[in-house]
Each structure stands twice: as C-alpha cells, then as structure tokens.
Amino acid sequence: MKFPLTLTLASLASAASINGRSLTGKTLTRRADFCDQWGQVTAGNFILYNNLWGSGNADSGEQCTGLDSSSGNNSISWHTSWTWTGGQGQVKSYANAAYVFTAAQLSSLSSIPTSWSWSYEGSDLVANVAYDLFTSSSADGDHEYEIMIWLAALGGAGPISATGSPIDTPTVAGQSWDLYEGMNGQMQVYSFVASAETESFSADLVEFIDYLQTSQGMADSQYLTDVQAGSEPFSGTDAKLTVSAYSVSVA
C-alpha cells in the first residue's frame, strides 16, 4: 500500500510555477515526463506525483509520469508509463493526481463531484486504477481511515483485506461493488472494488462516505484530508495508463 503524502496549501504555493510561469487557474499543455522517485508538478489545484514509494520491492523496473494538459483549477489529463518485475504481490508505486483543498469534516461535506476517463495498455499487467481518500480525527492529524475506490483490478490485483473476502456488496453511485476491509498499520482501509471494469466514471464521492457512515460506523466528525486518483502497479511490461480526462472538486 502506498505511503500517504500529506498535501497542504503551502506545498501548492511552493510548487505553483514551472519555468517562472504561474500554473494556478491557467490552461497548461504537455510538459516533459519526470522519472525521479518523488517527482511532481503542480497544475491548478492538482499535484501530479510519480511517487515510486515501493520501487525497492521490485527486482527491476522504472516509471515516468507526465502532464498532458490542465484546464482551470479542477481538470487535468496525464499519463504514466512503467515496467516492473519481481516483488510478487507488492505495490511498486502510486502515480496520482492529488487534489489540494482545505480539510473538512465529513459532516460539512455537500458534494465531491468527479469524472474520470482512462485507458491502460501493456503486457501481463497486474495493477489497479483507483481513487484514494484519507481521513483523520483532526484537520492536520495522522491518517486514520483510507477509502479506496477501485475502478479496475487488472490481472488479479487485490486490495488489503483481513479475510480475503468482501464484507459487503453495496450499490453506490449506481454501480455494484465488493467492499473489503483491512488494516494498513494503524490505519483502517475500506476498498470498494467495482464488479465490472469502469473506464468512464462519473459520480459524487460523498455517496461512498455516506455509505461508510451509515453501514460501517465511520464517524462524521472525521476530517477528509486527501483526495487522490491514480494507479498502483504490482507488475507488468511496457504499461501505460492514459488519463484522457479527470476532474474533481470538494464542497
């Protein structure tokens, strides 16, 4: 499971220009790919991460990520390309677009509208395509809950699970999901895995939070601190995730 990266408005400000030009709120076209482990670029309200946090689990491999375009503050398109071998069953990275916002209590959230169109190519792919949300009991505290929403589980990829079996099969945002639960250290993880691969997705992510409050006992006093969207690769060759369009906002 990925190492969670905490986002702040200060980090947005420190990274809010490339080649001396402000990106916030501007239309931006493709930039050169970056391949360093913790490489990132800021566009609007997004920070695009390469995030090779688990690369040490691999026998060999590499990954590069690039921004294709952004429009305004809440829309972005991007891609990531990788090859990873070895370390069976272990995640190597989480290239993702992280949305920067002010942490808010779940009880105060009205909507998190999002849409995501993507495609994947490559050989022998074992990977997911997933949202990753984190919550805490305070606006700047340690993560206590992780909420993953898997739009695809490619090649037999599977989520953290205490039992290996789903604890529920809810219908949320008009789709069927298998819900898994497990622990990542001290953090409780809920993973919604789509019953069918979904390359074009549109929903209000508040519906997933509402379900967890109603059916799994998550407290509405928790703060939503992070909203990310990307892919966790386990293994594969000449893989490329292309995010042709992605948008999200928190209200």
- List own/partner pairs for 136-144 with CB under 8 A and 24 or more apart: 136/103, 136/222, 136/223, 136/225, 137/221, 137/222, 137/223, 138/223, 139/102, 139/103, 139/223, 139/225, 140/103, 140/225, 141/223, 142/186, 143/4, 143/187, 143/225, 143/226, 144/186, 144/187, 144/188, 144/222
Q: What is the phi/psi pair of residue 213, to 5°?
A: -70, -45
Tens digit of each residue's pLDDT (9 = 90 or more) over 17-62: 333 233 344 566 677 999 999 999 999 999 999 999 999 999 999 9
Which of the four CATH numbers 3.40.50.80, 3.40.50.360, 2.60.120.180, 2.70.70.10 does domain 9-248 have?
A: 2.60.120.180
207 is catalytic: no
Cβ atoms of 189 and 181 within 8 Å: the answer is yes
Query: Cα dihedral angle (45, 213, 189, 199), rounded to 10 degrees?
Result: -60
How many percent of the chain have pLDDT more than 90? Answer: 87
pLDDT of residue 31: 74
Please pick, among 146, 197, 199, 207, the residue that the annotation labels catalytic.
146
Q: What is the pLDDT of residues 215-244, one digit of tens each?
A: 999 999 999 999 999 999 999 999 999 999
Helix (H, G, I), strand (E, B), or coil: what is residue 10?
helix
Element housing 36 (H / E): none
Helix (H) or strand (E) holding 211: helix 206-216
Q: In the chain, what percentage of residues exceed pLDDT 70?
A: 88
Q: Quick check: is 144 catalytic?
A: no
Per-residue pLDDT at 25:
47
* All structural domains of the chain with their residue ranges: 9-248
What global pTM score does this model have?
0.89
- Residue 220, Cβ neighbours under 10 Å: how many? 13
